[in-house]
Structure 1
Amino acid sequence: MTAIVILVLAALFLYGAATNPAYRWSTYFEYLFNERVLTVGLLNTLQLTVYSMVIAIALGVLIAVMRLSPNPVLRWVAWMYLWIFRGTPIYVQLVFWGLLPTIYQNIQLGVPFGPSLLQVNLQALSIPFLLAIVGLALNEAAYMAEIIRAGINSVPEGQLEASTALGMSWGMAMRRTVLPQAMRVIIPPTGNEVISMLKTTSLVTAVPFTLDLYGITSREIAARTFEPVPLLLVAATWYLVVTSILMVGQYYLERYYSRGASRKLTTKQLEALAKAQLETPGE
């Protein structure tokens, strides 16, 4: 009965949306495969997602290892990083990165209290795309660090002890023994973070970078056509398409790394168990 009610409500909603002139479906289909939406907006969104996640994963590994390091200074620095980037909103961080050329108009590199070897005028550079990547990556690295740390902690301590007993340094043992085994725990939430990153790119207008999927549809084209609703639906459609593809990829990655984790007994294990039961006295 509940399923029927849900289906009826869904059908009523779809019928209402299809017949509501406010959605401007003609405009939606006109811009759904618009060249600028696909070649500029969607492409930039994908680039922001990939570049930011690659940097975030690499930095997240470094921060996670620092948090687990026996060195108290490294642990303190890693904790401060997590405290700042997890404790402040991503939108605020992106606004800050967008204001960076105003805060630091000129960057000089050289000898302290001596001659300047390199001087860069940030205000003369057009780097909103780069600043958007930096802002997204630094924020995501804080979350990836905790995911990776949880994966490392899931590996039995004996693995690390055995590696160090073989003469490996702490860093080498982490790199060659612990991290490869931690991948089974790290991969699933990392897939979720990639999907989340794709959607978070819609906030880069705070930098401001307006050539992403959301900026092209809801800022540029909607401002020209004065029809924001159908353009928002265009953006939402492409976000759903890419998210669905990523979810399929995540499913196969999880299945690949979960090999050997099944709780079902193999044929040989079942035969050995049956043989042991037959040989047990009193059976």
Structure 2
Amino acid sequence: MPRFFSNKRLILLLVGVIVLVALISFTLRDRHNASLPERIVKDVVGFGQSIFSKPAYYITNVIENVDGIMNTYEENKALKERLSEYASNQAKLVDIEEENKRLLGIIGEEDNLRKYDPIHATVIARNPDQWEKKIIIDKGEIHGIEKNMAVMTAQGLVGKVVLVSEFNSTVELLTTENKELRVSAVIAGKSAFGLIEGFDRKRGELIMKRIDSTFEVEAGQKVISSGLGGVFPKGLPIGEVTEVSTDDYGLTKLAYIRPASDFSMLDHVIVAKRKSLSVDGADGNGTVGEEGEDGS
């Protein structure tokens, strides 16, 4: 009797193994429809997931909304502060402009050295052999472009128009080796005048010469156009002083200027439409007529 039960258990074990293998093979085969047990299991699992996932998603959304509200509050607070500052600056600007008008009326000055009409242009060509010297823009004579007009980007001065045709113009850059292209410049906030003439290709910086030796010029000071040469309007950013030294004779100072504009990535520029105020035969102090041989 025990022997029989022992054999019976063995037979049941073998049958169970066979059924298990059959079920595994049936489950693993390529099927388009799930079996009834699989559907039951999936439905139960899916229902359980939906029960737990919906509250979790709800809580997550609540937390994200609260976080978004806090961020919005902080941004709104910062914007209000900036708006208040902007309004204050606008009021100051209006006051300064009115004061400037009154002063111009007092001294009888009819022309403002900063005034110009901007003409927006796109760089359409650049000769690889003259990459650091000249560019061609898509505005010409029919657009109001004239020779010797100043050309700039949003960052600062880049050069002047040297050749004008009907539909395009050629601009000579400040990085040119042409020593005839000179810009009357001044240290911002100072009375230190000088001339931007020359470009140090190794340093990638402009050279400002003829600075009076009595003026204190330091690295980090901003350099802008003086507007006294008749070609470049006053106040256009040129760059920042990086180093100061004396010239060969020790009579004047020389400064290296890091350009405000990136001359290697010029795509859109602005041409300053302004009548020339330069006078022929001016002296060499950077007051008038210094922007090159065609500066008048």
Shorter-chain TM range is: under 0.3
Q: TM-score, normalised by structure 2?
A: 0.22
Which structure has more relative contact order (CA 8 Å, sep 6+)? It is 1
Structure with the largest fraction of strand: 2
Structure with the largest fraction of helix: 1
If you compute each CA radius of gyration, which structure gives the higher value, 1 or 2? Answer: 2
Q: TM-score, normalised by structure 1?
A: 0.22
